[in-house]
Structures are given as structure tokens and as C-alpha cells.
Structure 1
């Protein structure tokens, strides 16, 4: 292979891992009505299974970054994918709510570490001015999963049982682990690395501010998407094909949005790109609230909320600038922050539904969370300016 073809094969193997993660994470939301019915749960109760995965990501991001600090990236990424595949397969075969919740928590553990380091790998392989584009290439695997993997898992959930929707990403993850070992460059690890130094990222206020933006602002997307399938089934007489169609349309929107976010971040700069993303998120979540009860409009809203949610790219790029030597921890924690949002959004939307606010409530909760994220981004920029001014004065 030429160096260019080797790079492409490595990126494809990493993208396949992101594809498996995207299929598992988002298919669980689409499968929610089916495992809720099978296990005798209300929709808000079933939402705790979604939150368990998100909690696993939050716990796993710092844990895997510390444990993998000395490992070569190739072995680190392959090990995370192998573990991911195993626990997804166990989720598919083990009985009961407790085991499903536990396996979903374990499945979340390698999520942030894998995506964070994979995006760093792709970004480092490209010129400095194209870092956002490199990170987006890996993340495209996550969004393309919503076009192919998630609808397929949703169809399986409707047709042959919801457990098959968890088995599918398990197989994909194991295939990715093999491909990473086969194609990723054999770059040595850093035997002198001190794993606990990675925790310095969590003491850096500029890193913490960026993570807060993701944890709060991205909650709006998940508050809408987690209950979108349930809302369609509860408020419309949509044909059976609408559920997988909605999931596929979400994937198309996310793929286009991620592709555009990389280029928008390069064109507008990180600061303005993040504001544009937050504005788009608020508008599309408001539209999702208004669309409830009209299934064609709800399908359209699925496309729009995904297309407008490119915030991960400017935030990931900002973290590369402010994390210093703790790049792996910061990158992993970025995905942990988004999954904290994945826990926060459905939790708040579930509370609103339980309070009897109706199926428009997730969209309203989404808009409020996105506005809060914009406030957090403004405060993050203000803190960054103050820190730079203080450093200039001290110098």
C-alpha cells in the first residue's frame, strides 16, 4: 500500500468503529418503545437505559484515558472496540432490565476514549488548517450509522425482536477491532508517559468551560431525539415504515451537518461556528416541538435537528488548542460531555412528560438547554480572553 492508501484504510477502520458506536447509541433510542413494551416499562422508565449508557461514557472517558496513556494508539483503539463489541453482544442475550441497564453502562465505558483518540489521530495526520476536517472524517462514521445502521437496527427491533438491534453493533465493533489491528500504523506508545498527568486536563478551566458547553448545549438534541419515535407512535397514525425512515433521515441530516461543520469551522473560525451551530440547534428544536402530531413534519424535524447539530466539531477543535499535553483526556472528555448531555436531555424531557406537559415538551426542553449552552459558550470565551490578557500582563 502507498502511504495515502494506508491512511485511508486506517481512517476507514476507525470510521467503522464510530459507525458501530453510532448504531449502538442511537439505535437504543429508536428501540426504546419496543424494549419498554417487552419489559413492561413506561417510556420515561425505559429512558433510564439510555441514561445508563451516557453515564458509562462519562465514567469511562477519564478511566480509559488513564489506563491507555502508555499504550500504542493502535492497540488501545482495538482493545476498546473489542470490549465494546463484547458487551453489546451480552446486552443482546442477557435477560431482564437490570442486565440490559448494566450492559449499556459497560458499553458506554470505551465510547469517549475511542472516539476522542480516533479523532486526534485523523486530525494529527492532516495540516494544521485542516484539523477540523480530519476530526470530521472519523465522526462521519457516527453520523452515517444513522443512515444505515440505526434504521437497520430499528427494522430488526420491529420485525424480529429488539435484542437484534444490540447484536448488530456488537458484530460491527468486533469487525472494527480486527480492521484496526490490520490497517492502523504500528506506532509505538510512550513508555515514559505518566497516566495521571492526563488528569491535568480536568484542572484546566479553559477545558472545563468547553466541556460545560457540550454537556449543557447538546442536551437539547437528545431531549428531542430520545422521545421522537415514541412521540410519532403516540400522536400519529404513521405507517410502520415511518420509524426506520425517521431514523435514516436523522442520519442523513447528521452526515451533512458534520461534513458542513468541519468546513464552517475552518471558514468562520471556532467562536462564530459554535454560535451558528447553537442558533441552528435552537431553531430546529423549536420546529420539532411545533411538528408533533404531523408525522411528515416530524420526519422533516428529524433531519433538521441532526443537520443543525454540528457543535461537536468546533468544540473538539477548541479543545485541541487549550488542552496542552493532555490531548487524549480532553478529546475523550468531549464525548463524555456530549453523553452527559445524552443523560441530561432525556432525563429533563422525561420529567416534563411525566408531569403531563405533552409530547411537545421535549422540543421546548431542547430549546432551553441550547440557550443555556449559548450562555455557557459566551462565558467560556470571556474566561479565555481574561486568561490571555492575564498571561500577556504577566509576560
Structure 2
């Protein structure tokens, strides 16, 4: 993994057309990155699937239990810039390894928690590495797939997270239902340790993945276009979390199905996210804004249907797919726009994108919890998400004329 010939080949390789040996080695790098994001996504989204379980175990209400989910999101929001800037000079390989060590520790502490305060602290620690992991992972993936494919590179790292919503989160929820919610986090810690070993063995330690000066990272945060894009992400993507946070009650209370249907609903959401992520990655590399507008507008249509007809299981399940697909279509475009506005700080931009998305997590969970706690029913959380995404689309429209036009690899 350290030989110069491989580094030169891998830096500009087309994984699908490269000679088998190089394609296999590059594929293992991408797999290890996606495996790590799979573990992170499983931990994050499974918490929403077992919300009712740890709420009952810790003797707290459902709206209060969402504070633990919010704590994780704040961990990501704070950790994304703080960890990335603190580790600005680190080579991306050891950075990824240390981030996974912290993630494993946070999930072990989550399993050992005995009250809401200690559980929220443990979830906060678990969230600290996420933004920096995706930022560093996107840089490594870009190194593998070559220039002009930033959207695809980010989508490849995100692939693990979206697959987690299909496989990891439903299985972890099933495990929590039958063996206790604490075992969900212990299982995540075990598979995250395996991901750590994959990163150790397959990600190359090359000078091409060295960090840069701290001031170079900080300069990126002075650009208004960066902050405008982050605001759009934080507001617009909130609908995913307004819906996903209450997916258990939506199934059992709104649609009157048994809890055995919750993993299926999670999987439907995950399939949608995976399809949307793949499609969105390709759109992001070809068009400056189409993926975002398509994703946000599509999500608004699906959420309106879900909010009105979601008590019908035949409507609710396809709508779960639709919300996930539409919103994930927009996320790679957000990353490409951030990288365009601050090309000197790709790791930080990847981290800040994840920070924005987890601000969405906090906002969505809070807004949904507010409407539910006010007595408007669980479907009101969907309307909360609808309003937030609409606001994000409006902000994007207002800030777009002020952002400089840019060409992607496929446009002039």
C-alpha cells in the first residue's frame, strides 16, 4: 500500500476501467471508508429506531428522549470544525483511525448509561468524530476516484451511511427489541472495531493525504457562500430527521401496525436514501444546483402526501422510501458547492457539510418533538419537516443569485 507506483496509479484511477490489481486495491480503500460510515450511520439512525425502548428503560417521555438524539447531533456539529481544525496537519490515515477509536468508546459508554444525562453525554462523545471522519474520508475517496468527481467521491463515502439505514439500523433495532437496547450499542462498537482494522490495513499512508496549515482551514470559514450553503443544508435536510426520529411512533401509533413493522419502515427509508445518494452524486458532478432543487422539491411533494395520508400503511411505507430518496439526492450537491467555494479546505468542507446535516438532525428532532408534545399527533412531525425544507429551498433561492456561477467537470 505504500509503494510509489500504486500511489501514482491510485491518484487518478478510474476504478471501473483500471487493471484488476489496482482496481481491487482501490476498491478495498473505498470499502473501508464506507464500512466506517456504515458503523457511524448504524449508531446514529438506530438510536431513532430504539427511541421508545431507551425512553422506557430510562423512565423518560418520548419528547425528552429526543434530547439524546439532539446531543449526538451537537457532538457532530461541535466536533466537525473543532476536530478538523485541531487535526489539520495530520495525515488522513491516522486521523481516520483515531476518530474510529473515539467512536467505539462513545458507543461502549452509551451501552453503560443508566440515566438520560449520562446517556446524552455518551451520545455526544459518539457524535464528535462523525464530521471529521466524513471530511477526511471524502478527501481519501477523491484521491482514489480522481479529480472532477467530488460528488461521486462524497457519495461513495456516504454509501456506507445509506446502507446502514437499509441493513444496519433495522438489524440494530431488531436486536434492541429482542435483546435489549444496550446491546445495540455494544454491537455497533464491535463492528466499528472491525472497520478500524480495515482502515488500518487498506488505507495508504501517503504524503498525498497529508494535512495542511490551520490558517488555510480557517480562511474557508470567512467566506459567506460557505455559510449560506450550510444554512440551506441545516434547514432543508431537517425533514429527514423530523420524520425519521418518530418513525417508530408513526408506524405503531399513526398507522396502527405492530412494532415488528418498524425495521421494515427503516429499511424502506434506507433504500430510498441509497437510491437518492447514487443519483445525487452523479447530478452533483454535472450540474451546479439541479440535484438540490430536485431533491428539496421532491421531498416537499412526498411529505405533503405522507402528512395527509400517512395513517394508511400502503401510503406510509412508499412515502418513507420517497422522503429518503428525494432528500439524499440533494446532499452530494451541497458537498460539491462547499468544495467549490473553499477548494483549499476539502476536509473541513466535508466536515462542515456533516455538521450542517446534524444541525438538521437537531432541528428536525426538536421541531417534530415540539409539534408532537403540543398534542398535534405524530403526523404533525411530518408537517414540521415540510416547513423546514420549504424554508431551506427559499433561502437557497435568495442566496443563489449572490453566489458566483461555477462549472462542474461536465459543464462549461
Cα deviation, 1:292-314, whole Å, max 9, x if unaligned, reads: 32233222221111111122100
Cα deviation, 1:59-107, whole Å, max 9, x if unaligned, reads: 0001111121111111101110111012101211232221111000011
Out of 142, 167, 171, which is 2:161 matched to? 142
Out of 57, 64, 74, which is 2:76 matched to? 57
TM superposition shift of 1:35: 0.6
**Partner residue, 2:270:** 251
Q: Contact 1:154/1:244 (CA < 8 Å) preserved in 2?
A: yes
Q: Contact 2:106/2:122 (CA < 8 Å) preserved in 1?
A: yes
Relative to structure 1, the CA distance from residue 294 to residue 6 in structure 2 (aligned partners, 3 Å threshold; closer, same or farther) is: same
TM superposition shift of 1:126: 2.3
Q: Please state if 1:222 is matched with 2:241.
A: yes
The farther-off stretch of 328-337 and 295-304 is 295-304
Q: Contact 2:29/2:199 (CA < 8 Å) preserved in 1?
A: yes
Q: Please state if 1:99 is matched with 2:111.
A: no
Q: Contact 2:367/2:385 (CA < 8 Å) preserved in 1?
A: no
TM superposition shift of 1:191: 7.8
Out of 206, 210, 235, which is 2:225 matched to? 206
**Partner residue, 2:340:** 321
Relative to structure 1, the CA distance from residue 377 to residue 234 in structure 2 (aligned partners, 3 Å threshold; closer, same or farther) is: same
Relative to structure 1, the CA distance from residue 63 to residue 231 in structure 2 (aligned partners, 3 Å threshold; closer, same or farther) is: same
Q: Contact 1:291/1:301 (CA < 8 Å) preserved in 2?
A: no
Q: TM-score, normalised by structure 2?
A: 0.90
SS in 1 for 2:149: helix
**Partner residue, 1:392:** none
Out of 303, 315, 318, which is 1:297 matched to? 315
Question: Aligned-residue CA RMSD in angstroms?
Answer: 1.9
The farther-off stretch of 13-22 and 229-238 is 229-238
Q: In structure 2, what is the Cα distance between the partners aligned to 1:328 and 1:293?
A: 42
Relative to structure 1, the CA distance from residue 126 to residue 192 in structure 2 (aligned partners, 3 Å threshold; closer, same or farther) is: closer
Out of 51, 70, 77, which is 2:96 matched to? 77
What 5-or-longer segments of structure 1 have no aligned partner? 389-395
Q: Contact 2:58/2:114 (CA < 8 Å) preserved in 1?
A: no
TM superposition shift of 1:165: 1.5
**Partner residue, 1:334:** 353
The farther-off stretch of 356-365 and 188-197 is 188-197
**Partner residue, 2:7:** none
Q: TM-score, normalised by structure 1?
A: 0.93
Cα deviation, 1:23-80, whole Å, max 9, x if unaligned, reads: 0010001110111111111111111111000000000001111121111111101110
Relative to structure 1, the CA distance from residue 358 to residue 119 in structure 2 (aligned partners, 3 Å threshold; closer, same or farther) is: same
Q: Contact 2:77/2:356 (CA < 8 Å) preserved in 1?
A: yes
Out of 368, 389, 393, which is 1:370 matched to? 389
Out of 234, 255, 261, which is 2:253 matched to? 234
The farther-off stretch of 185-194 and 284-293 is 185-194
Q: In structure 2, what is the Cα distance between the partners aligned to 1:343 and 1:148?
A: 24
The farther-off stretch of 282-291 and 8-17 is 282-291
What 5-or-longer segments of structure 2 have no aligned partner? 2-20, 408-412
Aligned residue pairs, count: 387
Q: In structure 2, what is the Cα distance between the partners aligned to 1:304 and 1:80?
A: 32
SS in 1 for 2:181: coil
Alignment of 1:174-185 (within 5 A): 174-185=193-204
Q: In structure 2, what is the Cα distance between the partners aligned to 1:106 and 1:228?
A: 24
Q: Contact 1:85/1:172 (CA < 8 Å) preserved in 2?
A: no
TM superposition shift of 1:387: 11
Out of 281, 293, 297, which is 1:279 matched to? 297
Cα deviation, 1:336-369, whole Å, max 9, x if unaligned, reads: 0000010001101111111112222111111111
